[in-house]
Chains A and B, each alone.
Chain A
């Protein structure tokens, strides 16, 4: 299953990549592959912007606008003006998103 195309905010800076392969390991959607000792993006549309790759790339070769793909969270953030967060703890909002 894929979501909307051409929306993911994933950025890759090949010149900083050392080919360590951590991004391949953490990405749950097989967005990356290694080719000639460098990461390549196989399919950007599979990216769900979880931020795992960017947070674990020690070389700053990846960047992504990390966030929750959750309508309730985004609607709440539009109303309250904050960052969308997956507030499942039940204490503040009724939103029940994960």
Chain B
């Protein structure tokens, strides 16, 4: 918790926080604030900073390569929370082990998860880590947005006076940061040659010992089951928060609404199966489709989600007693609405994948959105028809 307290204010006022009185004496006159990584001050130092190294460019924090329980808890919160920019590391230059003027320089984002994955992978190495200010966003996303980019990299090289910290002129940039970087421009402006490291932090040490060479496997991005599962909360949470409460209320209201007023018994007994179906479609689109992604036929996420949703709806209707005597109109509604909901949620997962491109998603949306809208309109009409029928008006 102490780390969280430190990081929040540090993000807002990183320049002032970096030049606490304890450090002031060590700084050279005229040195830019934000130059060195972290204040060695007592209250402000994160638990993963283990000491300070004095260099020509000023004091540099030494970071631990061991992750602690509190790091782990932050990762859990990081993964499940929508406001991940609270999990940031102060940008700047850090030391791992006892690096010297010939040690490798690695570039990282200031997202806590990226940074932690990197430092854990650096066990036993003596290297420098230059953390760019990516506003607490991971390398891949920040590179897409341009915050992990050529300008920020060049700026950080100068502001940390990297040229006086090391004798060589090579920096290792994570390959997933390449969309934001133009290696030739970095060299032109800063004199440093960009070497693209492996996709995964865990291969860094092999990459360095192979003389900055990555195998084909280290260069290729995969999307295994575990990664897909880790990312599902980010699709399920927003769906449950944004749509599910409103949907539930609407369903309860529809079933509770009687000519004589709103009845809670009807709302619950008749509405409950539909609340469950709603949950089932969130699971179908947000969990099962991502988990079984490679095994579900068709390349389109909308179709994958629709198929999964349809199958789950069929299963639920067949194998649970809840829906034993369903009205035909409601049955049509069920088969229309819930697979579409699952399809929509599955389509959102394109944002988490490692292989969907913008043109493809655009194409899917162009076809799917009109279908979703039509589906919702027809669903509403069906509910209306059901209601009118139930009231004896048809």
Contacts and interface: CB of A to CB of B under 8 A. Distances in A.
Contacts of A22: 183
Contacts of B155: none
B336 to A, nearest CB: 21
B355 A3 contact: yes
A67 to B, nearest CB: 3
Contacts, number: 170
A71 B348 contact: yes
Contact of B144 (A28, A50, A56, A89): A50
B11 to A, nearest CB: 11
A85 interface: yes
A66 B179 contact: yes
B137 interface: yes
Contact of A55 (B181, B347, B369): B181
Given A50-B144, A86-B351, A56 B361 contact: no
A77 B321 CA distance: 44
A14 interface: no
Contacts of A97: 141, 234, 348, 351-352
A20 B100 CA distance: 31
Nearest to A84: B358
Interface in B198-250: 199, 214, 216, 219-221, 223, 234-235, 237-238, 242
A52 B357 contact: no
A54 to B, nearest CB: 9
B359 A9 contact: yes
B137 A29 contact: no
Contacts of B235: 96
Interface in B340-365: 347-348, 350-365
A73 B361 CA distance: 10
Contacts of B220: 28-30
What range describes how many residues of A lie at the interface? 35 or more
A86 B144 contact: yes
Given A69-B355, A96-B82, A98-B351, 10 more contacts: A4-B300, A28-B176, A29-B220, A66-B358, A71-B351, A78-B365, A89-B135, A89-B136, A94-B242, A97-B352
30 contacts: A1-B353, A7-B357, A9-B357, A22-B183, A24-B219, A25-B175, A25-B196, A25-B219, A48-B354, A48-B355, A50-B144, A50-B357, A55-B181, A56-B182, A66-B179, A70-B361, A71-B350, A71-B361, A74-B358, A86-B145, A89-B84, A91-B85, A95-B238, A96-B82, A96-B235, A97-B234, A97-B348, A98-B140, A98-B141, A98-B351
Interface of B: 82-85, 135-138, 140-141, 143-145, 175-176, 178-184, 196, 199, 214, 216, 219-221, 223, 234-235, 237-238, 242, 293-294, 299-301, 347-348, 350-365, 369
Interface of A: 1-5, 7-9, 22, 24-30, 46-52, 55-56, 58, 65-75, 78, 84-91, 94-98
